[in-house]
Amino acid sequence: LATMNTSANPVFVARNFMRDLQTAYVNLSDTELADRKKEVFKNIPNAIRGFWQMSRGDLKGEWAKHAREFRDAGGMVGWLDHYKDIGERADKLKTLLADMGEGKGKLAKRTAFAYWNLIEDANAAVENGVRLAAYVTARRNGMSVARAASLAKNLTVNFNRKGAKGVELNMWYMFMNASIQGTARLVKAMGNKNVRKIIGYVIASGFMLDLLARALAGDDDDDGENDYDQLPEYVKSHNYVLWLGRP
């Protein structure tokens, strides 16, 4: 279910990219690249394109080579398969090899896998694009491969890091691991005064946007309740609501 809502969901690409941009901007203020934000964000389009090329097997471009170095250094964040033993891994490989052969239904399977891989590669490129841009910026400013990869991987949520009870917790609450890590990373970043200023601006802008929306919405003619207040809390907490008038 988590996979269908993230790496296998085409809509997730745009939504996740917007979140990553905002989170990276805040967390960069708590790293050695605090004064290099402009350089990092300038490189994001090239980084996404390079990571996509690397994922599809094209290593001719400069940024595709950066992406491979970044991946080999352990900076890449993405979906990992877990197996209880080597036997289970071997069975999985046999199934994949069998699906690649000829036979009834194999073409449909290969087509489905090709589409699945296309979506996953697109999500991986966006998911790692901001991180790759930070990695390359760090390397160009003299940081070691290991340190740059660690900084980039933990810039937002490191999905490959899990606690001892991570699997069990995710069974009861989807994305529990990501929620805990995101909160922990933000709390750590708030030790920096510049991060506290940014968060203060975000809170103030949210407060003002809420007031503006309520003022523009007006009260409902039937029950007298403000139209903006009648929106579901989920909609208001997960979106920028710009009130343009009554339907």
What pLDDT, in 10s, does the model give residues 4-54?
A: 777 667 777 788 788 888 888 888 988 999 999 999 999 999 999 999 999
pTM of the model: 0.74
For residue range 102-138, what is the model confidence (pLDDT) as tens digits?
Answer: 655 565 666 666 666 777 777 888 889 999 999 999 9
Where are the extended beta strands (E) located within 76-138? none
Query: Which residue's entry shows tokens 């590669």?
Result: 121
Checking 188-194 for CB contacts under 8 A at 24+ apart, the result is: 188/30, 189/26, 189/27, 189/29, 189/30, 191/30, 192/29, 192/30, 192/34, 194/29, 194/34
The contacts found for 83-87 with CB under 8 angstroms, 24 or more apart, are: none
Average per-residue pLDDT for the chain: 82
Mean pLDDT of 197-223: 86
Angle at CA 94, nearest 5°, toward 90 and 95? 120
DSSP 3-state assignment of 240? Answer: coil
Residue 81 has which token pair? 């398969």
Residue 126 · residue 13 · CB < 8 Å = yes
231 or 3, higher pLDDT? 231
* pLDDT score recorded for residue 94: 74
d(C-alpha 62, C-alpha 128), whole Å: 16
Can you tell me the distance from the alpha carbon of 8 to that of 79, in angstroms, rounded to the nearest whole number?
11
Q: What pLDDT is recorded for position 217? A: 85
Which stretch of DSSP H or E encloses residue 20?
helix 12-28
